[in-house]
Amino acid sequence: MPNPLSQELRLQGLVKQELELKRRRRLEFHPEVEARYEQDEGPSRRRWLVRGGVVGLMIWNLFVFNDWFMRNDQFGAVLSWRLLMTAYGACILTAIWRNWVSPRAREWILAGALPMVMLCACVILRLTSNEMRMYDPFVFSLAFLVINISLPLRFRQALWMSGITLPLTALSVGTDERLPEQARIFAIGLMAGTTLFTLQACYRIERSSRYSYLLRLRETLAFRAAERRADGFARLSQTDPLTGLPNRRAFDLAMPSRWQEAALTRRWLALVLIDVDNFKQYNDLYGHPAGDACLKRVGEAMREHLPPQAFLGRIGGEEFAVLVQADSAAQCQRVAEGLRQAVEAMALPHGATERGVVTISLGLALRSPSVDGRADSFMASADAALYDAKHRGRNRCAQASNYGDLEAPAAARAGS
């Protein structure tokens, strides 16, 4: 599966190329940029086309009043053709609104409305027998204005459909001998001029829209790239480069949020400070590269033992810190003891100790925080407990004696 980051970087390069080619007159992007263009602009274009289409159908049907006065004797037949076009247009707009067709098909079926409108208009002209019919061809240009500009069509589709529709309409009007010759010539000239005008406007609208989109996309991609760089710098500033664990800065940021979270959820919060036993002697005996590898192994062993939501960080040379929430003090104690056992179970050789393997000492402090409480003494309590564990022989977990100095959760009080 393609990497999203590499895809976005490739897209940035393609957008840059498209902007450099902005003087070219083609109205189509590279396939990847074109797909992104449709993804970003497609929904709003569908809404715009439907609204423009509804307005066009309203204008088309408003001529019913004109038909009633001008073509009263053929009103039924004329109304049938208007309703046929209305049904056709409603089907097209429904398909576009429901997104039942592909983007390319959407543009072509919408463009097909232009010849359909002109076909109906020419049939209505032929059905009209009175002298008022001479005025009909002069409003044919309105179809080109509405469809090519009001919608507007994509230039390619507008060009093809206008190129097909204009000659056929001009042929129909020009061969209608019931129209005065001057009216036929003027109507054909008006339609030709309107077609050229609307095609030019359609081209400029699409070109401007596409160029504006490229500029917006370039800024969007640049902003996201800057965000990623900022996030990367933030992660680096809060990550220990040796073990890959959070560092002291990350720990200082995590402590207040974990405190507040435990207070709101009424759960116990445990702070465990951890020190690798006799680590200086380990470095002296095996060398600093082996000492680095030892710290990595210790961090991995503890990470595997902790629940996913727990915080584990390296806050000093051979010192680690854990923040974990639990429903009871006993559960926090089991987590701390599990960390000690996990490191000892690695059986990583340490020739400078009596046990012959790497071990850790742990200082455990427990709190049941309140929202307005303070975490200032939390670290000091855990640090004192760690000192006690090392003083009593190492490879053990000592617990601060003042863990009950704040109010316990209801669940803890009920169980006591």
Decide: 316 and 324 in contact? Cβ < 8 Å: no
What's residue 304's pLDDT? 93
- On the question of pLDDT at 416 being above 60, the answer is no
What's residue 371's pLDDT? 52
Whole-angstrom distance, CA of residue 125 vs CA of residue 119: 10
Q: What integer is the mean pLDDT of 101-116?
A: 92
Of 145-154, 320-329, 355-364, which gets the smallest average pLDDT?
145-154
What's residue 43's pLDDT? 92
Q: What integer is the mean pLDDT of 279-294?
A: 93
Whole-angstrom distance, CA of residue 361 vs CA of residue 87: 81
Of 141-150, 227-236, 343-352, which gets the smallest average pLDDT?
227-236
pTM of model > 0.75: no
Q: What integer is the mean pLDDT of 29-55?
A: 91
Q: What integer is the mean pLDDT of 150-156?
A: 89
Q: What integer is the mean pLDDT of 58-81?
A: 89
Question: DSSP label at 369?
Answer: -
Report pLDDT digits (tens) over 330-386.
Answer: 899 999 999 999 999 999 999 888 889 999 999 999 988 765 556 668 888 999 999
> Which band of pLDDT confidence, cut at 50, 70 and 90, is reported for residue 2?
low
Amino acid, single-letter form, for residue 107: E
What's residue 164's pLDDT? 94
Of 37-46, 157-166, 398-407, which gets the smallest average pLDDT?
398-407
- On the question of pLDDT at 119 being above 50, the answer is yes
Sorted by where each starts, the structural domains of the chain and their CATH numbers stand as: 4-223 (no CATH), 248-415 (3.30.70.270)
Of 75-89, 219-233, 263-277, 340-354, which gets the smallest average pLDDT?
219-233
What's residue 25's pLDDT? 63
Decide: 124 and 91 in contact? Cβ < 8 Å: no
Amino acid, single-letter form, for residue 331: Q
What's residue 415's pLDDT? 37
% of the chain surpassing 70 pLDDT: 92
Dihedrals phi, psi of 85, to nearest 5 degrees: -65, -35
What's residue 411's pLDDT? 36
Which residues are CB-contacts of 384 (< 8 A; sequence separation ≥ 6)?
A: 363, 400
% of the chain surpassing 90 pLDDT: 59
| CA end-to-end span of the chain | 55
- On the question of pLDDT at 137 being above 80, the answer is yes
What's residue 414's pLDDT? 37
Report pLDDT digits (tens) over 187-203.
Answer: 999 999 999 999 999 99
Place of tokens 């720990």: 251
Whole-angstrom distance, CA of residue 253 vs CA of residue 92: 57
